Amino acid sequence: MKINIFKTEEEVLVNLAAYFVTIARQAINEKGKCSVALSGGNSPKKLYEILSSPGFKDQVEWRKLDFFFGDERYVPQTDIQSNYLMAKKALFDPLSIDSIHIFAVDTSLQPNEAAEKYAKTIFSYFGGEPMKFDIVLLGLGDNAHTASLFPNTPVLHDTNASVKAVFLEDQEAYRITLTAPLINQAHCIVFLVYGESKAIAVKQVIESNKDIEHFPAQLVQPTSGRLDWFLDEASAMYLKLV
């Protein structure tokens, strides 16, 4: 695990954008394509906007990237809460990404069906080979969740590299998420976190004793790939190394 700390939010985003470009280029050079599992939320939205900006949009052969989602809210793709819709507006449309390179969760199905179909889609994409995304981008909630791996939910104990539907009782809503074992197979996993509101969760996940029920993001432990944290000073303020 490598922890990268930058002074400001802007520095975090620009440096992660450059890192994303580097990893994507490496994958394309080695395999001719790059598979990415995107994160939802406000933090990655700003990253996507930077990647599609004049300073970055010409640095990658975007037609050689395939986009998936680490998790999705169980809402229509036209809903303002949809991770797909956010990525479409911030990344796909500005970069003119062809729909054949975008693999969204089919939220028109029932939750469990949507999860099963997405798992089959991912399995098919990798052609029966190990399902190893080149890049998995993750965020961190102030309750230490990541993707839709929330505290005290059954999916935390799933040992299969797959996709599951998760019902969040406090929100009375379903989400679809990659399981931790599937995330952990990736070549490169990156946490994007900034802001003082995330500082306690960052410390809990990185430095506290293992307690996945309360700090689910601790489940993210690559089996053979690399794990990077991109933090600003505010979100890293409680870490001992700072």
* Fold adopted by 2-214+226-232: Rossmann fold (3.40.50)
In tens, the pLDDT along 133-151 reads: 999 999 999 999 999 999 9
Structure tokens that stand for 113 in this block:
């069906």
- Tens-place pLDDT, residues 155-177: 999 999 999 999 999 999 999 99
Confidence of residue 242 (pLDDT cuts 50, 70, 90): low
Mean pLDDT in residue range 48-52: 97
Tokens of 107: 């939220």
Alpha-carbon distance 35 to 99, whole Å?
14
The end-to-end CA distance of the chain, in Å, is 16
The domain ranges of the chain are: 2-214+226-232
Contact 182, 161 (CB under 8 A): yes
In whole angstroms, give the CA distance from residue 217 to residue 1.
Answer: 13
**237 pLDDT above the threshold of 80:** yes
Question: How far is Cα 175 from Cα 212, in angstroms, rounded to an integer?
Answer: 19
Contact 24, 134 (CB under 8 A): yes
pLDDT classification of 42: cutoffs 50, 70, 90 = confident
Query: Residue 41: pLDDT above 90?
Result: no
Residues 183 and 189: their CA atoms lie apart, in Å, by 8
Instruction: Work out the number of other CB atoms within 10 angstroms of the CB of residue 9.
Output: 16
**Residue pair 74/107 in contact by the 8 Å Cβ criterion:** yes
Tokens 């994507």 identify what position?
A: 24
